[in-house]
Amino acid sequence: MTEPTVLDYFKSIFKDWRSFSAFVRAWANRADTAQMVEVAADVADAAPAAEPSSFILHPSSFPWRSLLALFLALFAQRMFEPPTQSAQLGVPFYLMAGALTLWAFRRGEWVPAPLPLAESRADPLTVRTGTFALSILFSGLAFVAMLQTPYAPGNVFTSLNLTLWTLAIFFHIRAFWLKEPQSLLKNVANFFTPSQWTPQKTRWTLLVLGVALFSIWFRFHQLNEVAPEMTSDHAEKLMDVYDVTNGQYSIFFTRNTGREPLYIYLSAFIAGFTGVSFLTIKIAAVLGGLLMLPYLYSLGKELGSERIGLLAVAFVGIAYWPGVIERFALRISFYPLFVAPTLYYLIRGLRRQQRNDFIRAGIALGLGLNGYTPFRIMPFAVVAIVIIYLLHVREKQIRKQTLLWLGLLALTSFVLFIPLASFATQNPELFGYRALSRLGSVERPLPGPVLDLFFGNLWNAMKEMNWNNGNIWVHSIPNRPALDIVGGALFLLGVTLVLARYFRSRHWADLVLLLAVPMTQMPSILSLAFPVENPSMNRTAGAIVPVFLIVAIGLDSLMTSLGTEKRRALLGWSLAGLLFVFSAVQSYNLIFVQYKEQYRLNAWNTREMGTVMTNFIRDQHNGDNIWIVPFAYWVDTRLPPLWAGLPGRDIALPRERLPSTTNIPGPKLFMIALGDVDTILLLQDTYPRGQLTQYDSAVDSHDFWVFFVPAQ
């Protein structure tokens, strides 16, 4: 029989109503691919002999459709790379790649790994009533103890309210937790049992360990040099960290529209080893990204196989997107950090109908609300995911049970959220300002009709992965895709496969995975007052989790299509390795060459000013006799002291106050913007013996004046 062409394939579908209806019935069949083909064959056989249909396809021994689809997708994504982006070339090739992918899927050639089977479990609906009463009591006491009253300052952690809060968490979990088999201990014991170590298990363990170590190396490589400079955002964070190290234990940090506490306290802990520095908050951000990886791996297992989890970890470990946002050293990585366990425990809990998983998801959700403001979208995402699940199940008992556990999840997250809830009760404007200033007209009027703004932002966010990740230079390379060539191609191919599988089997997990992308992008999409800020790689960072799972599903299923026989399997791993190397090389260039140079050119050189301060102090001069004269759109005067190891200082001295420094004994040092001629003239008039030199910066146009005044 002659192999049908793509044209034959489409002709057979739309030849007449009978052929089209046969296609729809075969596509909608919930059986696996082989069964789907048989159903299609049965339907075709039932048709009159005069109307044979070439729609009935037969699998090929070599997955040429899948490999050709990959090649076309890689070429298409290359056309989307700057500086010569071409949608006219890229889009047609992506359409061809998508058509080939669907064809390969239809033939059973390129099919994602099967999802784990659902488990039906009736919960005993038990609760330890006395313990639950204690959790309610201590939750109320903790909430009140954190309020501002005539007897308490409010917005501060104390030994009393921390103890009450800890007891509330303990009693709440204890009240609802069901005893589980000690499977974790058994797994650990089996891991160290020599008889359990088969060659296959040993190879897999070494592979997982290798991926983990390479990810750690990639994240910490040149961490001190990339990003090379601090911005005002870093000054705000480090001032908060400095406050904590000096005993000011805030619940909500109110500087610069406010921020949640978890990242600040982790940074303060690290500062005990590294000092209050830029490197400190970089390490905290990188740790947030690395701690997400085990949950990403577990999610991959939950959505098909361990190999999906490993591929997701491998590609996210070297990816430009998480690599850049972590090196920018803000709380951004805490968004995907808590999205991953929240999704993992929720999806697993829905599949297994296991109460404890909902408690775990509630803990992750509550912790995430203490991490980064955009994570506040996740409670809505959790509700949406549960609704999707309920729309796909029919058993009343399961629906009722799921709704009960959704309530338990919400209550668990609230217990973890008590400190911020207490603060928000008394300071709703401050707590919600950051989000509301983007969503509504708190800061500026909306620049257009709400629906136009929303759908415009949604469209731009949909293009983030493959076309344009926004124009914010501090945590992205403006106007390029958020994914590299390999990641972008595999992402769209993965979306096609997962979408095709959903239309075939109607499995709720596929729809959850697909919709998790726009749901976690929603903090950026809802920037209606400032649509120019959308997409932004910080407010969409939670999408890292579902995006790289989809990337991994696309590659994993391609490896499967090559076959499981030893030589074919080796070919699949070789292809994956080649794509990984290509991705790593491009990501390395994006992070350590392009991003580093772009950042260096755009950020003010406060590190060099810190060096000037350090040299002045090293000559045994008084560090208090160093000032920077503020100038419009110039440096943040809190940053050079941080580079010099003097956190908590602001060395700004306005021009009109310069004459008052004549009463201060000892040598003095002033740093002045290159264009601030008036200040130079005033200093020369005030200190005729002063020595003016121009500091030659490593970056053109970043030079500045240094005015040294010897001891009088």
Confirm whether 396 is domain-assigned: yes
Q: Give the pairing of strands 668-673 and 704-709.
A: antiparallel
Q: Is the peptide bond before 435 cis (omega within 30 degrees of 0)?
A: no
Residue 205, domain member (yes or no): no
- For residues 260 and 370, give the distance between their C-alpha atoms in angstroms, rounded to a whole number: 5
> Where among 601, 625, 656 does a domain terminate?
601
| Cα-based distances in Å from 635 to 100, 239, 672 | 54, 16, 10
- Kindly state the tokens that stand for 113: 């790994």
How far, CA to CA in Å, does 567 sit from each of 71, 373, 562? Answer: 22, 49, 9
Same domain flag for 498 and 646: no
Identify whether residues 448 and 539 lie together within a single domain: yes
Q: Are residues 584 and 610 in the same domain?
A: no
Mean pLDDT of the chain: 90
How confident is the model over 510-528, as a mean pLDDT?
A: 97
Q: What is the pLDDT of residue 201?
A: 78
What element of type H or E holds 184?
Answer: helix 183-191
Looking at residue 402, its pLDDT comes to 96
677 lies in which domain range? 606-709
Q: Of 601, 628, 652, which residue is a domain's last? A: 601
492 and 448 belong to one structural domain:
yes
Bridge pairing between strands 691-695 and 626-628: unpaired
Same domain, 579 and 618: no
Let me know if residue 195 belongs to a domain. Answer: no
Looking at the domain assignment, is residue 102 inside a domain?
no
559 and 686 belong to one structural domain: no
DSSP 8-class letter at 149:
B
One domain for residues 473 and 553: yes
| Closest of 420, 363, 39 to residue 177, by C-alpha | 363
Q: Do residues 579 and 651 share a domain?
A: no
> What pLDDT sits at residue 637?
97
> Are 534 and 475 contained in the same domain?
yes
The arithmetic mean of pLDDT across residues 54-83, rounded, is 81
431: Cα within 13 Å, side-chain hemisphere: 17
Residue 178 pLDDT > 50, yes or no?
A: yes
Which helix or strand (DSSP H or E) is residue 508 part of? Answer: helix 508-525
Tokens of 323: 């690599």
What's the pLDDT at 434? Answer: 83
Residue 388 has pLDDT above 60, yes or no: yes
Per-residue model confidence (pLDDT) at position 117:
92
Q: What is the pLDDT of residues 185-213, one digit of tens each?
A: 566 556 556 656 677 778 899 999 999 99
Please choose, from the candidates 213, 209, 328, 318, the residue with its C-alpha nearest in 3D space to the C-alpha of residue 263: 328
Give me the mean pLDDT over the 653-672 stretch.
95
Q: 595 and 683 share a domain? A: no
Across 423-452, average pLDDT:
91
What mean pLDDT do residues 563-569 have? 87
184 found inside a domain: no
Q: At what angle do helices 566-589 and 306-317 cross, to 10 degrees?
A: 20
Asked if residue 553 is part of any domain, the answer here is yes
> What mean pLDDT do residues 645-671 have?
95
**pLDDT tens sequence across 521-561:** 999 999 999 999 999 999 999 999 999 999 999 999 999 99
Total structural domains within the chain:
4
Which DSSP string do the residues of 231-274 spell out, in sequence order? -HHHHHHHHHHHHHHTT--BSSB-GGG-B-SHHHHHHHHHHHHH
Tell whether the model's pLDDT for residue 631 goes beyond 80: yes
Residue where a domain stops, chosen among 601, 623, 643: 601
Residue type, 198: T
441 and 558, same structural domain?
yes
pLDDT given for residue 184 in this prediction: 56
Torsion of CA 321, 322, 324, 327, to 10 degrees: 180
Cα angle value 35/37/39 (rounded, 5°): 70
Q: What pLDDT does 53 receive?
A: 31
- Residue 391 falls inside a structural domain: yes
pLDDT of residue 57 exceeding 90, the answer is no
Alpha carbon distance 125, 397 (integer Å): 12
Query: Are 323 and 394 contained in the same domain?
Result: yes
pLDDT number for residue 195:
59
Write out the E strands in 542-667.
626-628
Structure tokens at 149: 């009253």
